[in-house]
């Protein structure tokens, strides 16, 4: 019986293999379906959830990284704006310092010019006073010397002594007046000759 069953089976297998060479044997098909079901169940319960978890973690990491990158970019832009504002403020302050320095320099120059002008005027005034004093002294000394010479000369010409103080003063005054008048006439004559030319 076993041999008969084995012979039937072998005949059946030979028939099946000859009739349907591409289609697998039904026993193999059943074993393959069971193995596929077990494999599907393992993948569906173990592998796919782990893949989805890894995918979610990666997506969260990428989104977090993008969010961090956006925050870092926003911070960098804020820092850049702050730097630009500080730079503009520093430039404005430097410009103000330069303008203040120019104004202060101009004020110092003006003050020094005013001091120099005042000092020059004082020196000029002092020099004029000194010159006037020296001129007065020279005129007095010249009058005295001219008077002495005039008295001596007049004494010799007249032959009379002019030792009297009052007489001597009158002679000197008259002589100097005549001398000044002759100088004035000479100046007028020169001025008239210059106009005629």
Alpha helices in the chain (DSSP H): 2-19, 26-42, 48-158, 165-196
The pLDDT score that the predictor gives to residue 193 is 67
Answering whether pTM is above 0.85, one says no
The pLDDT score that the predictor gives to residue 8 is 57
- The predicted-structure confidence for 126-142, as pLDDT tens digits, reads as follows 888 888 888 888 777 87
Q: Contact 147/117 with Cβ under 8 angstroms?
A: no
Asked whether residue 195 carries a pLDDT value surpassing 80, the answer given is: no
Q: Contact 32/24 with Cβ under 8 angstroms?
A: yes
The CA-atom distances, in angstroms, between 151 and each of 67, 84, 137, 168, 186 are 123, 98, 21, 6, 25
Q: Considering Cα of 140, then 145, then 146, then 147, what sign does the dihedral take?
A: positive
- The predicted-structure confidence for 13-66, as pLDDT tens digits, reads as follows 555 556 566 777 778 889 989 999 999 999 999 989 998 999 999 988 888 888
Average pLDDT, the chain: 80
The pLDDT score that the predictor gives to residue 139 is 75
Q: Predicted confidence band at 1 (pLDDT cuts at 50, 70, 90)?
A: low
């Amino acid at each position: 019986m076993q041999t008969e069953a084995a012979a039937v089976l072998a005949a059946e297998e030979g028939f099946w293999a000859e009739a349907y060479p591409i289609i697998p044997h039904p026993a193999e098909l059943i074993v393959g379906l069971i193995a596929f079901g077990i494999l599907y169940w393992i993948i569906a319960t173990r592998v796919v959830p782990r893949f989805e978890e890894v995918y979610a973690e990666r997506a969260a990491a990428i989104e977090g990284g993008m969010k961090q990158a956006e925050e870092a970019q926003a911070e960098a832009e804020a820092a850049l704006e702050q730097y630009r504002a500080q730079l503009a403020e520093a430039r404005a302050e430097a410009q103000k310092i330069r303008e203040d320095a120019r104004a202060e320099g101009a004020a110092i120059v003006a003050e020094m010019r005013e001091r120099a002008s005042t000092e020059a005027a004082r020196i000029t005034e002092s020099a004029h006073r000194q010159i006037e004093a020296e001129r007065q002294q020279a005129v007095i000394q010249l009058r005295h010397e001219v008077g002495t010479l005039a008295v001596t000369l007049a004494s010799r010409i007249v032959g009379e002594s002019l030792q009297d103080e009052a007489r001597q003063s009158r002679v000197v005054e008259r002589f100097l007046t005549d001398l000044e008048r002759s100088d004035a006439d000479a100046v007028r004559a020169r001025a008239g000759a210059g106009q005629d030319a």
